[in-house]
Amino acid sequence: MALTNREFITMVDTSSVIHLSRKDLSAIEVLYKESYPKNAFDARMLETNYYYGIRTPSGLASIAGIHVYSKKYRVAALGNITTHPDFRRKGFATTVTAKLCLSLLETVDHVGLNVKADNEAAIHCYSNLGFEVVCQYDECTAELECKEKPSRGERSFDITKSHQTMRLHQSLYLFI
């Protein structure tokens, strides 16, 4: 999906949204564990300064961040957006995503995201913010099997790390 109508995000009251940083890492990890265990979050992503959330008395309730950001190419891909199950259907994801988009649009021209086709709640949220489906794709994972040990002088690689890297590159390739 791509943000094609910026007017909608300007209509959302984002005053309840806070900027998240490394000091919020433990709360972020708890939220992801409870609401989005298969996320692609890495603590280094906080260094982009594009992570926002809503905190309640019981803790961090919603978060929105990015997977990809390029100041040079003026493009960003949203990601790792979730709301704790106890706080869903209250507009939290809409609010944090709107704040994230408003912040990103100060430095980028294009904002996109990937969402599973069967995630109707997320698609509804993003559509209400001015996103529209621009293409569909299939995401897949390739696994490598190393049958021989590398010869002396050759670089060896960790199958697990290669697998993760290939999956990330596949997603980025399909987004761009």
Taken in order of first residue, the domains within the chain and their CATH numbers are 2-136 (3.40.630.30), 139-176 (no CATH)
Task: Supply the pLDDT for residue 175.
Answer: 40
Q: Give the 3-state DSSP-derived string for the chain, with helices as H, strands as E and coil as C.
A: CEECCCHHHHCCCCCCCEECCHHHHHHHHHHHHHHCCCCCCCHHHHHHCCCEEEEECCEEEEEEEEEEEECCCCEEEEEEEEECHHHCCCCHHHHHHHHHHHHHCCCCCEEEECCCCCCHHHHHHHHHCCEECCCCCCCCCCCCCCCCCCCCCCCCCCHHHHHHHHHHHHHHHHHC
48-61 pLDDT, tens per residue? 999 999 999 999 99
Task: Supply the pLDDT for residue 141.
Answer: 73
Say which residues have a Cβ less than 8 Å from residue 134's Cβ, sequence separation at least 6.
1, 2, 4, 112
Which of residues 20 and 175 earns the better pLDDT score? 20
pTM of the predicted model over 0.75 = yes
Q: Is 139 a residue whose pLDDT tops 60?
A: yes
Task: Supply the pLDDT for residue 151.
Answer: 57
Task: Supply the pLDDT for residue 59.
Answer: 97
Q: What is the mean pLDDT of the chain?
A: 86
1-43 pLDDT, tens per residue? 999 999 999 999 999 999 999 999 999 999 999 999 988 899 9
Cα 165 to Cα 32, 67, 73, 112, 146, distances in angstroms: 21, 14, 22, 21, 16
Task: Supply the pLDDT for residue 65.
Answer: 97
Q: Alpha-carbon distance 99 to 16, whole Å?
A: 10
Q: Is 145 a residue whose pLDDT tops 90?
A: no
**What is the band of 170 on the pLDDT scale with cuts at 50, 70, 90?**
very low
When pLDDT is averaged across residues 97-124 and rounded to a whole number, the result is 95
Q: Alpha-carbon distance 76 to 68, whole Å?
A: 5
Task: Supply the pLDDT for residue 159.
Answer: 46
What percentage of residues in the chain have a pLDDT greater than 90?
73
